[in-house]
Amino acid sequence: MMSHDLQWYYPEKISEALKLIKKDGIILHAGGTRILKTEARHLKGLVDISRLKLNYIRKEGKNIIIGSGSTFTDVINYCRKTNSLSGLCMALSEAASTPLRNRMTIGGSLKDFPVWSSLYSPLIALNAQVELVGVKEAYSVEDYVRKNIIKTKHIISQIVIKDEKDVICHVRRFNIVRFEYPIFNLAVALKVKNNIVVDARVVITGVTGRFHRFKSSEKALIGNALTDDIITKSSEYFTPKFHSDYKYSPEYREHVAKVYYNDIVNELKKEMK
Ligand SMILES: Cc1cc2nc3c(=O)[nH]c(=O)nc-3n(C[C@H](O)[C@H](O)[C@H](O)COP(=O)(O)OP(=O)(O)OC[C@H]3O[C@@H](n4cnc5c(N)ncnc54)[C@H](O)[C@@H]3O)c2cc1C
């Protein structure tokens, strides 16, 4: 339940919004899909972001810039129209439902980072940067969480992703029923030159510690063609650790994740040809 005295604010400048959220009990409201589900009794005010002009997606040189007010649907439509960021597009189009994807924003989803996030694993795999107002300007999405910047008071203004045609990225989420919070989201991005992997990023969310990058798995891929031996070697280092709940044991989750990891790398191998 929200308080009946909840005050709404509609600033037109980011600086005004920033001043407001520095006050106790006042937070930003983007899609509102998370705020509605949380115990919001302590909230005194909500700052609507719709007049802050944060809903845009554009290409600048090699970068795709996504304003934090863009919804999942906006991003999916842009990616389909421009044939870019297929891994991110795949991940977002599987999230929640159409009405929810029409509301959920990139900024709200980054700040919230639910355990079922569809956004984080592809963004970290693609080495996306997040630009902020209120603290130091920019971080990699990975550092944004690792350095606990996510917990500070700030406004996410945009994310920046390099659109590299030699980077291929696939994602996979684990859920039994299509409309169910995913247990984990796995993303693998490879930079490929002449059939050799020159860079690799393997990221999973939904694990203990929120997310994990498998640097040894990445190392096993880098400098090599994707042969069966290399894929097997890389898989040996892919050992995600999960919490237990009433649904599945950590061992079962790890087993499924390993199967998915193998599937993804084999799909990427086919795409390299
Ligand atoms: C039934 C259901 C299923 C779902 N399934 C999935 C799924 O499969 N995958 C997935 O990724 N998500 C899923 N979600 C969405 C997810 O749980 C969050 O609700 C959503 O990502 C929040 O985005 P929002 O724009 O609605 O944020 P809001 O609810 O508006 O805000 C969330 C938080 O972010 C802060 N915030 C908002 N904008 C900014 C900004 N620009 N800068 C800094 N802070 C900001 C707010 O103050 C608040 O603390 C699901 C949600 C529901 C209800």
Instruction: Per-residue pLDDT tens, the chain, 273 aa: give them.
Output: 666 678 999 999 999 999 999 999 999 999 999 998 886 778 999 999 999 999 999 999 999 999 999 999 999 999 999 999 999 999 999 999 999 999 999 999 999 999 999 999 999 999 999 999 977 789 999 999 999 999 999 999 999 999 999 999 999 999 988 778 999 999 999 999 999 999 999 999 999 999 999 999 999 999 999 999 999 999 999 999 999 888 889 999 999 999 999 999 999 999 986
**Cβ pair 221, 228 in contact under 8 A:** no
Q: What distance in angstroms lies between residue 105's CA and the mean position of ligand 1's atoms?
A: 7
Give buried/exposed letters for 93-115 (b at 16+ CB in 10 A, else e).
bbbbeeeebebbbbbbbbbbbeb
Residue of 38, 68, 93, 100 best suited for mutating to test ligand 1, as the one with most atoms within 8 Å of CB: 100
How far, in Å, CA of 167 to CA of 7, rounded? 46
Residue spans of beta strands (DSSP E) within 49-116: 57-60, 63-67
Q: What distance in angstroms lies between residue 231's CA and the mean position of ligand 1's atoms?
A: 35
Q: How far is CA 249 from CA 5, 79, 179, in A?
A: 44, 36, 21
Cα three-residue angle 31-50-155, rounded to 5 degrees: 75
Quick check: CB of 103 below 6 Å from ligand 1?
yes
Record the tokens describing residue 239, joined without a space: 């050992």
Record the tokens describing residue 49, joined without a space: 């972001």
Quick check: CB of 250 below 6 Å from ligand 1?
no
